[in-house]
Chains A and B, each alone.
Chain A
């Protein structure tokens, strides 16, 4: 009997050691770590119920709006719970996670991930994984993965592939072959975990100024009423999301479209935006369309964008001010009431944001195109700008 007991203990200890080792590898070493992972993980580091605004959606959310600046100027606490090229398939989980962890006064849902004309982006596994790989295992994650698999959009052949969604190491274990490519992001993410909060609150920008010789339609957009259909699946999952919000009586979600430059290459997308607006009207849901109304914003189209779809730090600052004032005026958002510890953390973030802003501006002036976020190497460069 004793022999069997010892053997059982030995086997269990080996299995436990393997489990721990695989867990550590999956979390820190063999994870696909980039700005998406750092941003989503950073969201879970925020103290419960300390955020008044959560912005969900795709890259516009963290390029166009700065949570640090919103706090610095208005005392508003916010966070972009978003990932690059997020599609409508991620939106419900993003809203659910925002509600579950923060109970924010307002959830802004940027609709870029809805206005696709085909399923190409929905079918792209990376767009799904950029978000889901980084959320904790809970009922929201299980529901999101099941929806994705059941949608038939993704081609999933084997149980092994489903297993991968819960155990990303299966997909990313070969990432050692890319080292040191991801190591700075890994280090940045680990630093955030040890620090207990994210320094830049998920912000990431490019140090560019976008210029174009194409005709820009932004001034005429309110008069361009043509519509173009979004893809069948985009519409289906948008309607499901709207039905779900209604069923659950969730009334603090405001759908929005952040500013974009509309030229001939993005005009069709704008028509799809018109189509989406009609769906939202059908549901009686408010739509803060800052693409259509871009000309009303204090933005300089020749200086404030780094590409057609994203603002650079100049635009980000102006847009953050506009949006904060709009939220304060229309949704009663006020400066957050924080504990001393939380204040100290936000103040530290503000310090880094200012340096981040100066670093961005410096790089733009020098004509150096860089992607700046919270990776370990970039943080070191940002620190050089702290006054």
Chain B
């Protein structure tokens, strides 16, 4: 049941009616749980065991961790007077270690399943290649593995929760059904945003009454998401698929165009899907976090990753980056550099200060890259992004000095525009790894960018990609519309277009909705004349 299907709209409408008419107010959340499981079973009933395993294991282990904490605190209290400071410290360490082991068990179990399903065949294939090159006759078997729907998203969300319980940031949920709802909430199961327990859970469990404004705003957000997904992304993907389906046949100009089109398609697809998710949740009175903040307006790659897939970025920041950067291993690196002669220089001080965080950043982005898929091209994607971030942090004083020397006002419009374009190019380079079918093809693409540009060949190839001139024009108009709305929001980040519309006269408001809806009817990619495209991030 795709978020853009008629079935989904009927499903949301039915859930909404049952939810708002449910007679026992405090158990309204149960309607959402049933709806979430119906949705999941409808889409992926064969693999429901995976989500049930994650739910049960995380639920039980969270309680286990909490029990260890409670008992240890009680024991500490009991022996407060008797135990020396050292004994208390040792006991705390012991408990911390035990808790960490239990948490690790949960992480290993759940990430283990994800990693096995995602990467087993990749490693088996790579291993076979290595053995083959040495003439060793061993061959690891490849398996027919299929990723259950939303496994990355619910695993990340659940593991975030278990770390929060371990850190005592949040109490363990005692009601297994409530926890099941947190893991499976249907608007976000396919592609996020990845919720944080403290922010999301209470909203899920609180009873919400029907609110017309929320309903209206939710519908408008769904419509906007559908416009982005169905008019722009699903149309652009037709041309992109034509290229990726026969990648080796296209020249540099077509590939440049494809990567640009991919930047638009990916953003429209992913942010459109998230808008639909957030819009549906909003109807039920639940505010899910924003996942995109106009990422293509970023002035550097760090900023880009703070604006793109924000919930994933936050997850990696909270649960991987900080633990790494703050670990004794990384802090020791800093100390060691400071202790050397080089550490006494300005450059050394800077490096000592930022090296642990930049290595942690590199590891995070390498992981993000690998999370996208089991392929060397995604390793390339991770290394590129991680490498650029690492370099930009390490070389910052040099860049600052260069900027000073050439006397550029960093806030001048032209320089800001240059930085935005520069960042966009860096992002596009990363996208080459996404678009190209293999790492080698990605490298070939870079080569063709510089050696095989021909407007006439490109033009003739582009016009054979399954889209007519009118459709390219439509995509362009869609891109311009997204751009204009993004500029309005960028100038005043607090601006909500929907709230802005609320202040307009009735005719203007409803005309906007009418035009939006009719645009979907006429220009949307749907129906049996088209193959509905899955959301890009659904596959991750």
Contact A170 B527 (CB under 8 A): yes
By a CB distance below 8 angstroms, the chain A residues around B134 are none
Give how many B residues have a beta carbon under 8 Å from the other chain's beta carbons. 23
A386 within 8 A of B: no
Nearest CB in chain B: distance from A220 CB, A: 45
Once A171-B528, A171-B529, A173-B522 are accepted as A-B contacts, the answer to whether A18 and B6 lie under 8 Å apart by CB is no
Binds B, one of A62-70, A157-165, A243-251, A273-281: A157-165
B524 within 8 A of A: yes
A176 within 8 A of B: yes
Contact B514 A14 (CB under 8 A): yes
Question: Bound state CA distance, A172 and B521, in angstroms?
Answer: 10
By a CB distance below 8 angstroms, the chain A residues around B523 are 173, 176
Question: Bound state CA distance, A70 and B527, in angstroms?
Answer: 42
B116 within 8 A of A: no
Nearest CB in chain B: distance from A30 CB, A: 7
By a CB distance below 8 angstroms, the chain B residues around A18 are 514, 517-518
Residue on B nearest A163 in the bound complex, by CB: B6
By a CB distance below 8 angstroms, the chain A residues around B521 are 22, 25, 169, 173
By a CB distance below 8 angstroms, the chain B residues around A13 are 510
Instruction: Decide if the interface of chain B is mainly helix, strand, loop or mixed.
Output: helix
B450 within 8 A of A: no
By a CB distance below 8 angstroms, the chain A residues around B5 are 158, 160
A174 within 8 A of B: yes
By a CB distance below 8 angstroms, the chain B residues around A30 are 522
Question: Bound state CA distance, A161 and B470, in angstroms?
Answer: 26
Once A160-B527, A173-B521 are accepted as A-B contacts, the answer to whether A10 and B212 lie under 8 Å apart by CB is no
Residue on A nearest B522 in the bound complex, by CB: A173
Contact B526 A170 (CB under 8 A): yes
By a CB distance below 8 angstroms, the chain B residues around A172 are 529
Contact B514 A17 (CB under 8 A): yes
Contact B528 A161 (CB under 8 A): yes
Contact B471 A173 (CB under 8 A): no
A365 within 8 A of B: no
Give the contact-size bracket for chain A.
20 to 34
Residue on B nearest A125 in the bound complex, by CB: B528
B506 within 8 A of A: yes
Nearest CB in chain B: distance from A167 CB, A: 9
B56 within 8 A of A: no
By a CB distance below 8 angstroms, the chain B residues around A25 are 518, 521-522
As a 0/1 sequence over residues 117 to 161 of chain A, the CB contacts with chain B under 8 angstroms (1 = contact) are 000000001000000000000000000000000000000001111
Question: Bound state CA distance, A173 and B510, in angstroms?
Answer: 23
Question: Bound state CA distance, A18 and B525, in angstroms?
Answer: 19
As a 0/1 sequence over residues 287 to 319 of chain A, the CB contacts with chain B under 8 angstroms (1 = contact) are 000000000000000000000000000000000
- Residue of A13, A18, A30 with most chain B CB atoms under a 10 A cut-off: A18
Once A25-B522, A159-B6, A169-B521 are accepted as A-B contacts, the answer to whether A174 and B530 lie under 8 Å apart by CB is yes
By a CB distance below 8 angstroms, the chain A residues around B529 are 171-172, 174
Residue on A nearest B6 in the bound complex, by CB: A160
Once A10-B506, A18-B518, A174-B529 are accepted as A-B contacts, the answer to whether A160 and B470 lie under 8 Å apart by CB is no
Instruction: Decide if the interface of chain A is mainly helix, strand, loop or mixed.
Output: helix
Within 8 A of A (CB), among B1-35: 5-7
B513 within 8 A of A: yes
B524's partner among A21, A160, A173 (CB-CB below 8 A) is A173
By a CB distance below 8 angstroms, the chain A residues around B493 are none
By a CB distance below 8 angstroms, the chain A residues around B514 are 14, 17-18, 21
Nearest CB in chain B: distance from A90 CB, A: 19
A158's partner among B7, B506, B524, B525 (CB-CB below 8 A) is B7
Residue on A nearest B474 in the bound complex, by CB: A177
A164's partner among B468, B518, B527 (CB-CB below 8 A) is B527
Question: Bound state CA distance, A174 and B517, in angstroms?
Answer: 15
By a CB distance below 8 angstroms, the chain A residues around B506 are 10
By a CB distance below 8 angstroms, the chain B residues around A174 are 525, 527, 529-530
Residue on A nearest B510 in the bound complex, by CB: A14
Contact A7 B7 (CB under 8 A): no
Question: Bound state CA distance, A126 and B518, in angstroms?
Answer: 26
By a CB distance below 8 angstroms, the chain B residues around A164 are 527-528
Contact A176 B522 (CB under 8 A): yes
Residue on B nearest A30 in the bound complex, by CB: B522
Nearest CB in chain A: distance from B229 CB, A: 16
As a 0/1 sequence over residues 509 to 540 of chain B, the CB contacts with chain A under 8 angstroms (1 = contact) are 01001100110011111111110000000000
By a CB distance below 8 angstroms, the chain A residues around B527 are 160, 164, 170-171, 173-174
Residue on A nearest B469 in the bound complex, by CB: A177
By a CB distance below 8 angstroms, the chain A residues around B471 are 177
Residue on A nearest B468 in the bound complex, by CB: A177
Contact A159 B510 (CB under 8 A): no
Contact A7 B212 (CB under 8 A): yes
Residue on B nearest A18 in the bound complex, by CB: B517
Question: Bound state CA distance, A57 and B506, in angstroms?
Answer: 52
Within 8 A of B (CB), among A14-44: 14, 17-18, 21-22, 25, 30
- Residue of A21, A125, A160 with most chain B CB atoms under a 10 A cut-off: A160
A177's partner among B6, B470, B517 (CB-CB below 8 A) is B470
Question: Bound state CA distance, A13 and B514, in angstroms?
Answer: 11
By a CB distance below 8 angstroms, the chain B residues around A163 are 6
- Residue of B6, B471, B528 with most chain A CB atoms under a 10 A cut-off: B528
Residue on A nearest B506 in the bound complex, by CB: A10
Residue on B nearest A13 in the bound complex, by CB: B510
Question: Bound state CA distance, A7 and B213, in angstroms?
Answer: 11
Residue on B nearest A157 in the bound complex, by CB: B528
By a CB distance below 8 angstroms, the chain B residues around A21 are 514, 518
Question: Bound state CA distance, A177 and B5, in angstroms?
Answer: 22
Question: Bound state CA distance, A13 and B510, in angstroms?
Answer: 10
By a CB distance below 8 angstroms, the chain B residues around A158 are 5, 7
Question: Bound state CA distance, A172 and B526, in angstroms?
Answer: 10
By a CB distance below 8 angstroms, the chain B residues around A173 are 521-524, 526-527
By a CB distance below 8 angstroms, the chain A residues around B530 are 174
Within 8 A of A (CB), among B474-523: 506, 510, 513-514, 517-518, 521-523
Question: Bound state CA distance, A158 and B1, in angstroms?
Answer: 10
As a 0/1 sequence over residues 170 to 186 of chain A, the CB contacts with chain B under 8 angstroms (1 = contact) are 11111011000000000
What 13 additional pairs, Cβ within 8 angstroms, besides A173-B523, A177-B471? A7-B212, A14-B510, A14-B513, A14-B514, A17-B514, A18-B517, A18-B518, A21-B514, A159-B6, A160-B527, A160-B528, A170-B527, A176-B523
- On B, residues with C-beta under 8 Å from A are 5-7, 212, 468, 470-471, 506, 510, 513-514, 517-518, 521-530
- On A, residues with C-beta under 8 Å from B are 7, 10, 13-14, 17-18, 21-22, 25, 30, 125, 158-161, 163-164, 169-174, 176-177
Please name 7 pairs of A and B residues whose Cβ atoms are closer than 8 Å in the assembled complex, sorted by A.
A18-B514, A18-B518, A21-B518, A25-B518, A158-B5, A170-B527, A171-B529
Nearest 3 CB-CB pairs, A to B?
A170-B527, A160-B6, A171-B527
